[in-house]
């Protein structure tokens, strides 16, 4: 074998190795993948519960990501006097997300679909002259934060629960690549991998939906936005997304938003009776 042939084979081998080792999040979107189509009828973009005639509508984004709408988070007596609207998300409408392993780029596009749907629903009820409260929890809070960052501020109030503005890079990068992380040490700051197997298939698709929003630096994206009607509620010891950093808190104050820390609270403490009563009495009814 002459030297020229050896060099050519070495170059081919190197290219092959680089191609095989190229991470999925660097691959371009598959042209055959069908992005979720937003229903043309607005009523097909949400699930409504309660009396449509109520003056106040709570437009809600659920956590997860889940494969379908649970529509149960605020189905408690305290909210009976409000029309409760659960906004559909991309993965509710497109079963291919669960049945295939979408790329990171595809997940980002699907997150934008969920963002667009949420704003569509807000506009629908605002245009009816309703008092509209935009509300969310966990994964839904990343959707709602993205709405605030990329769409006009049109709701009367925004209540974001158990979300983050600039979640640590190791979290969203892990979710992108199939490794789950959490904050299990009851301090809201210590990050530990969950220790399970690397996610694949539909589970990885859902994980990438979370990563596609978590990668955003919302203290930058929201810098020129009006946030004076935003309430950002989080548990001091949130085990899922961690508590807000001092930098995130100060950013919210600088934008006249109201960060609210639930002392010794966890990821779901805002759903305890006293938490719900606080949200109703101090935010929604005001």
Residue 9 located in a structural domain = no
Residue 179 located in a structural domain = yes
Range of the domain at 178: 46-284
- Give the per-residue pLDDT at 188: 83
pLDDT string in tens for the chain (286-residue length): 444 344 433 333 333 333 344 444 443 445 578 999 999 999 999 999 999 999 999 999 999 999 999 999 999 998 999 999 999 999 999 999 999 999 999 999 999 999 999 999 999 999 999 999 999 999 999 999 999 999 999 999 999 999 999 999 999 999 999 999 999 887 888 898 887 789 999 999 999 999 999 999 999 999 999 999 999 999 999 999 999 999 999 999 999 999 999 999 999 999 999 899 899 888 988 7
What is the domain-level CATH number for residue 84?
Answer: 3.40.50.1820
Residue 19 located in a structural domain = no
Distances (CA, A) of 266 to 88, 105, 145, 166: 26, 31, 20, 19
Tokens of 124: 């629908």
Residue 16 located in a structural domain = no
Residue 22 located in a structural domain = no
- Give the per-residue pLDDT at 271: 94
Residue 36 located in a structural domain = no
Report yes or no on whether pTM surpasses 0.85.
yes
Bridge partners for 85 per DSSP: 48, 59
What is the count of structural domains for the chain?
1
On whether the CB atoms of residues 241 and 168 are closer than 8 A, the answer is no
- Give the per-residue pLDDT at 30: 53
Tokens of 13: 């081998």
**Other CB atoms within 10 Å distance of the CB of residue 107:** 27
Distances (CA, A) of 78 to 12, 59, 83: 67, 16, 12
- Give the per-residue pLDDT at 10: 36
């Amino acid at each position: 074998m002459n030297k020229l042939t050896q060099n050519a084979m070495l170059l081919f081998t190197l290219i092959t190795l680089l191609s095989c080792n190229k991470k999925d999040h660097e691959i371009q979107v598959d042209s055959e993948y069908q992005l979720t189509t937003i229903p043309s009828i607005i009523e097909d973009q949400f699930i409504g519960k309660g009396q449509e005639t109520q003056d106040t509508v709570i437009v809600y984004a659920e956590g997860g990501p889940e494969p379908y709408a649970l529509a149960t988070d605020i189905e408690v007596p305290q909210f009976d006097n409000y029309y409760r609207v659960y906004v559909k998300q991309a993965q509710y409408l497109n079963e291919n997300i669960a049945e295939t392993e979408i790329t990171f780029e595809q997940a980002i596009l699907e997150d934008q679909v969920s963002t667009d749907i949420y704003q569509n629903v807000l506009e629908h009820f605002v245009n009816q002259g309703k008092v509209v409260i935009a509300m969310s929890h966990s994964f839904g809070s990343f959707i709602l934060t993205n709405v605030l960052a990329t769409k006009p501020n049109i709701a009367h109030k925004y209540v974001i629960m158990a979300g983050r503005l600039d979640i640590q890079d190791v979290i969203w990068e892990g979710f992108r690549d199939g490794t789950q992380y959490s904050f299990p040490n009851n301090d809201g700051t210590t990050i530990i991998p969950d220790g399970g197997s690397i996610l694949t298939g539909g589970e990885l698709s859902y994980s990438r939906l979370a990563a596609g929003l978590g990668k955003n630096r919302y203290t930058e994206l929201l810098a020129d936005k009006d946030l004076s009607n935003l309430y950002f509620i989080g548990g001091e010891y949130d085990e899922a997304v961690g508590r807000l950093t001092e930098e995130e808190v100060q950013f919210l104050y600088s934008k006249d938003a109201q960060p609210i820390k639930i002392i010794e609270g966890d990821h779901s403490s805002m759903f305890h009776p006293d938490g719900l009563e606080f949200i109703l009495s101090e935010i929604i009814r005001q």
